[in-house]
Amino acid sequence: MKLYSFPISALEKAINKRLLTLVSPHREWFGDRWQQKPYKKSFIEHKAMPLITVLAKGKTWDDETFATELADWNVKFYDAEVEVLRPMVDGDGLIQLMQKNMPDARKQAILAKFEDRHA
């Protein structure tokens, strides 16, 4: 998946903001890992940025391209990660403008991806 050129610092800020509102045990689980540089880098590269790409480009892709890109995003999500990423799909904060006009069926497909690839 060709990643959308979204500023990583803005994405990190959105994730940090979301971390403050997580409930236990998700806050502890994600917070501990988020402090580790290898995890942080991997989470951004393999989970958060592909989500941003799907949100930014997904509303203009045809159905086949959307389905292919979503299928190619082959990662495993943990409970706390889903709790961090779900508000981005629902339109929280900076991401809200990117997911505006995203068809509901595509939003549901992204949320279903979280559940299908859930650990």
3-state secondary structure of 77: strand
Region 12-16: mean pLDDT is 87
pLDDT score at 99:
55
Give the confidence band of 86 by pLDDT, cuts at 50, 70, 90.
Answer: confident
Most confident of 23-27, 50-54, 104-108: 23-27
Rounded Cα distance, 79 and 34, in Å: 14
Model-level pTM?
Answer: 0.82
Tokens standing for 14? Answer: 């959105």
The full DSSP string for 71-105 is HH----B-HHHHHHHHHHHHT-GGGHHHHTT--HH
Domain ranges of the chain: 8-116
Please name every residue paired with 118 in a beta bridge, in sequence order, or none if there are none. 77
- The mean predicted confidence, pLDDT, of the chain is 83
Nearest to 78 by CA among 38, 46, 118: 118
Percent of the chain predicted with pLDDT > 70: 83
Rounded Cα distance, 70 and 77, in Å: 14
Most confident of 28-32, 54-58, 59-63, 85-89: 28-32
Rounded Cα distance, 114 and 110, in Å: 7
